[in-house]
């Protein structure tokens, strides 16, 4: 029982790690079967038509060694190119990788039964079971395998393997199709293939030896440790760069995006962040590729894992660099437009608002365009996309039309957003009314705008749904102040004179003077009704200053009228007046 448990443990480790921990034939056979399966999957041949030939690659440990050819138009009943390449690979695999025709359960059962017979019956050799087949050992000297060329009865060169103490084994036959495809006489092609395959076979046998595998795994483990250390360092640097970029963005917001120095630093930080992110992804992919290369027959797959994402990440890096350059150029042009002196001074604050809006939307549009370019660039590398015919393009156009019909709402919002920007209907920082709601514009996107109401609710309104909009802060603002004087005032002229004096004093005092676009306008008496005498004042202010100035002016007018004993209409007076007006005329 302890021996059986040891065998189970050894078999499990062998299947998981692919390493020959045991020395028994059963364990070696299991390892050979696992190696054979992985190599077969890695070196799976794919037929490629070249001219009038079907070709397929013959691989050793997943690395292509030679290419065999079969005529496309032939009356022969022989195997096709892929099947022929697979048969040759199986012959070659017998020379460098132990084979087994039994599954792991059958091997373990054979091992247990053989041990039981030896221990109970005292039989040294309990027969030759089906799992113990004649195979070529890979643990002997790698140089012991030699390939030789002989001529078959049909006059075709045949490569056969010769191993000390064993009969020669045919490996492949050089056909006329191989000769015509490679443009060489059959004998010369056989010599070339013999040299190539012999060197590759010896390399494979050397690769699979335990001491060679230990040395290679040690180097790969060291490389993985170095990559892990590099990734940790890059992650720490990436976090610091992100914090630096966040501080730069806060400083840029304080300066309202007008600082050239901060803009250059911000673009540089973004470029560094993109570069570090791509480098981290490349390192992670490289670690996976190195781990894959550690398994026999997976070297080519590891290289593919390393190269294919590398090309994609290279494209991402190129598009990211171009994106940052275009964004920097757009920011420079917008700053030039902001600092140009052709605009009247009273419209400079509005231009700063438009600058913030245009910069935000422009960066998003450039990012969207970069994503589309990257997607198209990646798609054109696909063979299925490159091979699209005219009918495929027509079908793609029809599909695009269907998508436009389905997503017509998004297209409407996008076009409406462009119209909003071109007509300058509203910008970031404006106070607007949309339908029955009002709020401050906090962000303008490609498809929608965001408004913050007084109670701090955030409204997201698609551009296409904004059919009625009132902008309270575009270029200038205004407020209408209404005062209801009591009927008990002694002189209306005196009350109007007091109000006008207070308006003139308010317009001459700092800091209110600089916020007024025009002197406050007293509109005199608007109406006389039972509630009182209505007087209105109009003030025109800088954008967004009307509410604070209205509060201050109302306070001053109330104090001035109260100081001169000019009463305002009260609720009690309004109530008595309404009661009196409701009595019958003869009462």
| 19-23, 93-97, 377-381, 384-388 — most confident range | 93-97
Shared-domain flag, residues 526 and 382: no
Residue 218's pLDDT is 87
Average pLDDT over every residue of 385-411: 67
Q: Residue 108, Cα to own-chain centre: how many angstroms?
A: 48
Chain segment 267-288, per-residue pLDDT in tens = 778 778 877 887 887 788 778 7
In a domain, 155, yes or no: no
CB proximity list for 483: less than 8 A, separation 6 or greater: 499, 534, 535, 536, 537, 557, 561, 568
CA dihedral 283, 284, 290, 291 (to 10 degrees): 160
Shared-domain flag, residues 243 and 371: yes
In a domain, 121, yes or no: no
Residue 567's pLDDT is 85
Helix and strand numbers, DSSP H then E, in the chain: 17, 14
- Can you tell me the distance from the alpha carbon of 212 to that of 34, in angstroms, rounded to the nearest whole number? 18
Q: Which residues lie across from 209 on neighbouring strands?
A: none
What sign has the CA pseudo-torsion 499, 501, 505, 508?
positive
- CATH number for the domain that contains residue 439: 2.30.30.60
As a three-state string, the secondary structure of 388-431 is CCHHHHHHHHHHHHHHHHHCHHHHHHHHHHHHHHHHCCCCCCCE
- Can you tell me the distance from the alpha carbon of 181 to that of 281, in angstroms, rounded to the nearest whole number? 42
CB proximity list for 205: less than 8 A, separation 6 or greater: 95, 96, 138, 142, 145
- Can you tell me the distance from the alpha carbon of 503 to that of 517, in angstroms, rounded to the nearest whole number? 14
In a domain, 156, yes or no: no
Q: Residue 182, Cα to own-chain centre: how many angstroms?
A: 45
Shared-domain flag, residues 325 and 434: no
- CATH number for the domain that contains residue 507: 3.30.70.100
517 in Cβ contact with 540 (< 8 Å): yes
In a domain, 484, yes or no: yes
| Tally of structural domains, the chain | 3
Shared-domain flag, residues 264 and 319: yes
Average pLDDT over every residue of 7-16: 39
Last residue of a domain, one of 471, 503, 518: 471
Shared-domain flag, residues 335 and 256: yes
What sign has the CA pseudo-torsion 180, 95, 43, 195?
negative
Shared-domain flag, residues 361 and 314: yes
| Least confident interval from 191-200, 284-293, 379-388, 453-462 | 379-388
Cis peptide before 561 (omega within 30 of 0): no
Chain segment 110-141, per-residue pLDDT in tens = 778 777 777 766 655 555 666 665 455 545 56
Q: pTM (2 decimals)? A: 0.45
In a domain, 88, yes or no: no
Reply yes or no on whether the pLDDT at 237 is more than 80.
yes
- Can you tell me the distance from the alpha carbon of 118 to that of 121, in angstroms, rounded to the nearest whole number? 6
- Can you tell me the distance from the alpha carbon of 347 to that of 165, in angstroms, rounded to the nearest whole number? 99
Shared-domain flag, residues 455 and 504: no
Reply yes or no on whether the pLDDT at 239 is more than 80.
yes
In a domain, 559, yes or no: yes
Last residue of a domain, one of 369, 387, 405: 387
**62 against 391, higher pLDDT:** 62
In a domain, 362, yes or no: yes
Chain segment 318-345, per-residue pLDDT in tens = 887 888 888 888 888 887 777 776 666 6
Nearest Cα neighbor of 441 from 415, 466, 409 is 466
Shared-domain flag, residues 423 and 506: no
Name the residue range of residue 288's domain.
Answer: 213-387
Q: For all residues of the chain together, what is the average pLDDT?
A: 75
CB proximity list for 430: less than 8 A, separation 6 or greater: 353, 440, 441, 471, 472, 473, 474, 543
Residue 192's pLDDT is 92
Chain segment 338-373, per-residue pLDDT in tens = 777 666 666 677 777 777 788 878 888 888 888 888
| Distance from the first to the final alpha carbon of the chain | 123
Chain segment 533-586, per-residue pLDDT in tens = 888 888 888 887 888 888 888 888 888 888 888 888 864 444 443 443 343 444
Shared-domain flag, residues 464 and 536: no
Residue 200's pLDDT is 86
Reply yes or no on whether the pLDDT at 415 is more than 50.
yes
Residue 193's pLDDT is 92
- Can you tell me the distance from the alpha carbon of 447 to that of 464, in angstroms, rounded to the nearest whole number? 8
Residue 329's CB is within 10 A of a number of other CB atoms, namely 11
Shared-domain flag, residues 372 and 243: yes
- DSSP secondary structure letters along 125-142: -----TTS-----SSS-G
Shared-domain flag, residues 426 and 521: no
- Can you tell me the distance from the alpha carbon of 49 to that of 70, in angstroms, rounded to the nearest whole number? 10
Nearest Cα neighbor of 521 from 535, 537, 505, 499 is 537
Reply yes or no on whether the pLDDT at 309 is more than 50.
yes
Reply yes or no on whether the pLDDT at 297 is more than 80.
no
In a domain, 526, yes or no: yes
Residue 166's pLDDT is 75
Nearest Cα neighbor of 82 from 32, 131, 43, 124 is 43
Q: Looking at residue 346, what DSSP letter applies?
A: G
Residue 357: strand, helix, or coil:
helix
Shared-domain flag, residues 251 and 332: yes
Task: Please give the sequence-ordered ranges of beta strands (E in DSSP) within 152-255, or none if there are none.
Answer: 157-162, 169-173
Task: Please give the sequence-ordered ranges of beta strands (E in DSSP) within 222-307, or none if there are none.
Answer: none
542 in Cβ contact with 517 (< 8 Å): yes
């Amino acid at each position: 029982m302890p021996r059986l448990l040891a065998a189970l443990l050894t078999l499990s480790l062998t299947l998981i790690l692919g390493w020959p921990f045991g020395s028994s034939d059963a364990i070696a056979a299991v390892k050979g079967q696992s190696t054979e399966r992985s190599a077969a999957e890695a070196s799976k041949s794919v037929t490629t038509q070249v001219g009038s030939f079907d070709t397929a690659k013959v691989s050793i440990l997943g690395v292509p060694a030679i290419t065999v050819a079969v005529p496309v138009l032939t009356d022969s009943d022989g195997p096709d190119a892929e099947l022929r390449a697979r048969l040759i690979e199986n012959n070659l695999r017998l020379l460098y990788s132990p084979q087994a025709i039994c599954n792991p359960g059958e091997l373990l059962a054979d091992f247990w039964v053989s041990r039981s017979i030896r221990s109970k019956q005292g039989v040294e050799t309990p027969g030759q079971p089906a799992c113990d087949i004649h195979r070529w050992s890979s643990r002997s000297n790698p140089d012991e395998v030699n390939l030789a060329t002989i001529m078959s009865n049909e006059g075709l060169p045949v490569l056969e393997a010769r191993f000390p103490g064993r009969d020669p084994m045919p490996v492949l036959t050089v056909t006329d199709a191989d000769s015509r495809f490679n443009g060489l006489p059959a004998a010369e092609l056989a010599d070339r293939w013999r040299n190539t395959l012999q060197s590759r076979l010896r390399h494979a046998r050397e690769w699979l030896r335990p001491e060679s595998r230990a040395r290679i795994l040690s180097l790969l483990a060291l490389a993985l440790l170095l990559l892990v250390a590099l990734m940790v360092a890059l992650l720490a640097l990436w976090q610091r760069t992100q914090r630096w970029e966040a501080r730069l963005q806060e400083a840029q917001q304080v300066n309202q995006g007008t600082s050239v120095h901060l803009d250059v630093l911000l673009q540089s930080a973004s470029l560094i962040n993109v570069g570090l992110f791509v480098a981290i992804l490349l390192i992670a992919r490289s670690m996976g590729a190195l781990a894959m290369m550690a398994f026999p027959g997976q070297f080519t797959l590891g290289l593919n894992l390393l190269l294919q994402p590398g090309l994609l990440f290279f494209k991402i890096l190129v598009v990211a660099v171009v994106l940052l350059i275009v964004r920097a150029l757009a920011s420079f042009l917008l700053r030039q437009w902001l600092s140009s002196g052709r605009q009247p001074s009273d419209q400079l604050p509005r231009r700063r608002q438009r600058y913030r809006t245009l910069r935000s939307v422009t960066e998003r549009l450039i990012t969207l365009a970069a994503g589309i370019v990257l997607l198209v660039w990646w798609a054109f590398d696909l063979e299925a996309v490159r091979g699209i015919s005219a009918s495929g393009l027509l079908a793609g156009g029809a599909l695009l039309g269907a998508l436009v019909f389905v997503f017509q709402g998004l297209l409407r919002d996008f076009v409406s957003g462009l119209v909003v920007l071109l007509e300058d209907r509203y910008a970031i920082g404006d106070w607007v009314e949309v339908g029955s709601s009002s709020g401050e514009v906090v962000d303008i996107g490609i498809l929608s705008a965001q408004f913050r109401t007084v109670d701090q609710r955030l409204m997201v309104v698609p551009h296409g749904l904004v059919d009625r909009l009132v902008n309270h802060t575009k270029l200038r603002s205004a407020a209408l102040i209404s005062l209801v004087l009591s009927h008990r005032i002694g002189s209306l002229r005196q009350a109007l004179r007091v109000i006008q004096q207070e308006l003139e004093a308010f317009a001459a005092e700092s800091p209110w003077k600089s916020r007024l676009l025009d002197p406050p306008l007293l509109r005199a008496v608007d109406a006389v009704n039972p509630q009182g005498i209505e007087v209105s004042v109009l003030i025109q202010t800088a954008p967004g200053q009307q509410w604070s100035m209205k509060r201050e002016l109302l306070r001053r007018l109330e104090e001035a009228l109260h100081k001169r004993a000019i009463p305002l209409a009260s609720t009690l007076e309004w109530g008595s007046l309404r009661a009196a007006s409701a009595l019958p005329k003869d009462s």
